[in-house]
Structure formats: C-alpha cells, structure tokens
Structure 1
Amino acid sequence: MLKIGYVRPGNENVDERVSGLAALGCQVIRVEEAAAGPASAPVLSSVLDFIAAGDQLVVSRLEELATTSRDLLDVVARLEARGATLYVADADLSTHGEGGRALRAVLEAVGALEPSAPARRRRSAAEADEIHALKRAGMGPVEIARRLGVSRMTVWRKLKDLEAPV
C-alpha cells in the first residue's frame, strides 16, 4: 500500500504539514500550488486520477480536500472508484472498513443539507451608473453588456430608464 500525502497551502506552515505527513509514513507527498483556489486543484485531480487500488490518500484536515461536503463526497467517490481510501490525520478518520461507511453516511447527510448552488448576487445601482457612463462615452449597448458581463436586455432596460421622463 502506497501512502500519498496531499497538502493545499493555507494559513499554516506548509513545511510543517509536509513533515507531519512524512512522519505518518507517506512515501509520496504532493503540494498544491498556492494560486489554486478551492475550485481549481490540478495536483489533487492528478492524484485522484492516478491513485491505485489499495493506496491511501492522507491529509491533515478535511478542508484540504474540499470546501463543501458535496465536493468532499466527490473526492471520496473517486477514491472508492479506484479502490483507494482516505485518511484524515487530525480527526483520525478513514474511509476504510465500517468506519468509512459511517463517515460517508454522515457526509451524505450533511451534503443534503447544503444549498445546491450559491445564490446569484444582483448587481447594484453602481451597474446603472457604469452603463450610463459607458453610453455617454459613445459605446454601444452590445459592447457595454460584454464589458460589464451583463445581458444586453439589462443594458437596454437601464438605458430606457435613463431616457424615461421623470
């Protein structure tokens, strides 16, 4: 069995976490690039693509793998599909055996409680000001929509509101 350690840089010292994983017997330790955000983890994805049956992915904390329980369930599912397991050192949790089934059940229950997608944030009145400023600068509605990342209809509505008599 190969133990593969994984570290996502965060607030703590990466060198200490790498040393901790080496002390746990990890033969291979991979560190995510500091610029990788929660949604972008190419090193983790690579590990999950190539981990073999019987191997174990070792992390210090669950937060290193995912920011939501749904994402964590996806990681666990990918590991299970390859015949590998997960071990979380700080919590002394493993997906191996009976405890693994219980851990998965808890993660599924928590995942069911999470909202499925973050609510879209509506742009404020600053958007209307930007639209009007760009129009005064001579830019057309289609280009304004493209630059601000809004729909053309939004631009047309804001421009119509500007032209409407008060």
Structure 2
Amino acid sequence: MARIGYARVSTLDQDLDGQVSRLTVEGCTLIRSEKVSGGSREGRTELATVIEFLRAGDELVVARLDRLGRDTRDVLNIIYEVEQRGAFVTVLDPHVSTQGPMGHVMLTVLGMVAQMERRFIRERQREGIMRAKASGVYAGGKRRLDRDRIRTMHADGVGPAAIARTLGCSRMQVYRVLRET
C-alpha cells in the first residue's frame, strides 16, 4: 500500500510548497503536482498519471478537496476511477476518506461546496472586472506568452508544434497568437 500525494494550484504564480510539505509530513511516498485550473480535468496530466499509477490498496492523498477538483461531477468521477483501481481517496482538511462508509457522503457534500465556491469566485471576478472597466482602469489579464518571440520563430520557419514545445504552451495558443497578426 502506497500513499500517493497530489498537489495543485490554479495559476503559474501560485506556490505549491505548502501542499507538498503537508503531503510529505503525512507520509506520502510519491507526490505529483501541477499548476493548472481545477475547473475541469482538461490538461491535468499529473492527475491522470497518478490515477493510472494507483494499485489496489493505494491511497490518493490531497490537502483539500478543491485541489482534486472544483466541479462535483469531476470530483466524483475521479473518486470512482480511483476506486475502480482498488484504491481510495483521503482529504486532509477536513480529514475525510472514502475508505469509511460516510466518506462518500462527506466528499459529495464537500464537492458541492467547492463547486459553489468556484461559481462565487467567478461571479466576484466578473463584477470586479465590470467595475474596473466602468472606471477605466481595467487593462486585462497579464500576458503569459512572448508574442513577438512566437511571431519571430514562425517567420524563421519554426512550426507551431515546435514553438509550443519550446515555450511550454499548447499549439492552440500559438495559433491564436499567429491569428492576431
């Protein structure tokens, strides 16, 4: 039986250290982490790797349920996939495990709360953006890709897939930048 930790933050500028430290203290022998939104399973390759790695009797450990996902259906699907492999999920804060009979009920309720919280965050964000636009101070989000470098590489004959690999982004992002011109 292995304790395998999974840590996630939503953006590149957030820090994983607190979650990783907590998972280490809890005795996780392997910890995978990623910086990607928990709004869906899309792009969460480390989570997919962890689930694929799980064997019967293993335990998937997360610091909080919202690190596993922000959508109730996704969280329940993840738990189902983990259990299909004969493993179980443990959330550290609050301490809940699918190993016990009440664990599923608690995780379902916590998943619903995480989903509701995500909706509130998006709603507050939209309201803040609308207020900032109305007062003329909204400048948009921070650009994460060097658009000039993408255009230069493309002009030098480098293909979108190679540009994406070099810059650590998706091909779709490269195509969007190239369409801007």
**Matching residue's letter, 2:9:** P
With normalisation by structure 2, the TM-score equals 0.54
Change (3 A) 1:95 1:13: same
* Percent identity over paired residues: 37
Q: Could you tell me which of 41, 44, 67 is aligned with 2:44?
A: 41
- CA offset at residue 25 of structure 1? 0.6
Structure 1 unaligned spans of 5+? 115-166
How many residues of Structure 1 are paired with residues of Structure 2 in the alignment? 110
Q: Which residue matches 1:81?
A: 84
TM-score, L = length of structure 1: 0.59
Amino acid at match of 2:24: A
The Cα of 1:106 is off from its aligned counterpart by: 4.0
- The equivalent of 2:74 in structure 1 is 71
Structure whose CA Rg is larger: 1
The DSSP-based 3-state class of the residue aligned with 2:4 is strand
Unpaired runs of at least 5, structure 2: 117-181
Distance 1:101 1:8, change over 3 A: closer
Q: CA RMSD in A?
A: 2.5
- Secondary structure of the 1:86 match is strand
Distance 2:47 2:58 in 1: 15
TM-aligned CA deviation for residue 105 of structure 1: 5.7
1:37: how far off?
3.1
Aligned to 2:101, the other structure's residue is in SS state helix
Q: Helix, strand or coil: the match of 1:98?
A: coil
The amino acid of 1:6's aligned partner reads Y
Q: In the alignment, what sits opposite 1:26?
A: 28
